[in-house]
Amino acid sequence: KKADKVVEKTQEVKESKSSEKVFTEAELKQYDGKDGSKGVYLAIMGLVFDVSKGKQHYGPGGGYEFFSGRDASRSYVSGNFEEAGLTDDIAGLSHQDHIGLKEWVDFYHKDYTYVGKVSGRYYNSDGSETAYKKQAEGWLAEARQDKHMEDSDKEQFPPCNSEWSADRGSRLWCTKKSGGMDRSWVGVPRQLFSPGKTKPRCACVKDFGAPTSGATPPKQGKQRSARGDLDNPSLKEYPGCDPKDSSCQLPDDDKN
């Protein structure tokens, strides 16, 4: 986390030089890599990078040639490479998409040369930030907060392993490494209902000892030392499954 902040600070310094070039959209178009162009540049969220060393990818005939000479921020995460999708408007994207865009910006800072900004949606002609740019930063901040909460949620309630077969349907089960979360306990499968989510997900729940730090205390009459997180009100047992078993077989038409 500290290293990430250092990288971001370095990027901010690079992006705030008063002598840097501020391209118009027409000027940036002159760097599309085609015959007679000035080079191969692209922009993402208003930041311009020289990608000439990757001309085999970004030049004519390359797999990413549609990125060159423009800011097509949205398409980096939408996967829409049609002309209408090659836009710098990122409004309405998911939190995951905003995180993905930041990762793309970091990638270009690391692997290519930052050369300036493009005036328009994110920056004014003098290089100052637009209101839209500040709004985009707010979206990213919300995305980071959401990811932090999601990561914390997975630490307390690691995702279950799952498999499906035509003859048996879905099976959910827990191990010490299910959901990619290493831990010292196995847990039992439960439906976890989270705010803002339309469907529950399968979570492996600690079924012994005291509740996880920050978890909801057990109900009256329950022994705090024996129930783990089982009394969390966001959890529900899977119908037809042994509540004490680390594996749960669901009918084919059940969703988790």
The ranges assigned to domains in the chain are 22-149, 157-213+225-250
Closest CA to 169 of 243, 242, 246, 240: 240
Give the model's confidence band at 42: pLDDT under 50 very low, under 70 low, under 90 confident, else very high. Answer: very high
Rounded to the nearest angstrom, the gap between the alpha carbon of residue 50 and the centroid of all alpha carbons in its chain is 26
pLDDT recorded at residue 15:
57
Q: Give the residue-averaged pLDDT of 188-194.
A: 95
> How many whole angstroms separate alpha carbon 76 and alpha carbon 88?
10
pLDDT recorded at residue 8:
61
pLDDT recorded at residue 147:
86
pLDDT digits over 202-253, tens only?
Answer: 999 999 998 886 555 555 554 455 889 999 999 999 999 999 999 999 866 5
> How many whole angstroms separate alpha carbon 146 and alpha carbon 150?
6
Give the model's confidence band at 255: pLDDT under 50 very low, under 70 low, under 90 confident, else very high. Answer: very low
pLDDT recorded at residue 181:
82
Tell me the residue ranges of DSSP E strands in the chain: 21-23, 41-44, 47-50, 113-118, 161-165, 169-173, 188-192, 201-205, 235-236, 247-250
pLDDT recorded at residue 7:
54
pLDDT recorded at residue 246:
97
Residue given tokens 């097509």 in the structure block: 72
Which has more pLDDT, 31 or 7?
31
Q: Are 57 and 73 in contact (CB under 8 A)?
A: no
Burial class (CB in 10 A: 0-12, 13-18, 19+), 188: buried
> How many whole angstroms separate alpha carbon 148 and alpha carbon 181?
15
Q: Give the residue-averaged pLDDT of 164-193.
A: 91
Give, rounded to a whole angstrom, the gap between the first and last alpha carbons of the chain.
33
The CATH number of the structural domain formed by 22-149 is 3.10.120.10
Q: 3-state DSSP helix/strand/coil percent for the chain, to nearest 5? A: 30, 20, 50
Question: To the nearest whole number, what is the mean pLDDT of the chain?
Answer: 88
Q: Give the residue-averaged pLDDT of 108-135.
A: 97
Among 8-12, 57-61, 99-103, 120-124, which is the least confidently predicted range? 8-12
Burial class (CB in 10 A: 0-12, 13-18, 19+), 228: buried
pLDDT recorded at residue 186:
96
Q: Are 119 and 19 in contact (CB under 8 A)?
A: no
pLDDT recorded at residue 13:
52
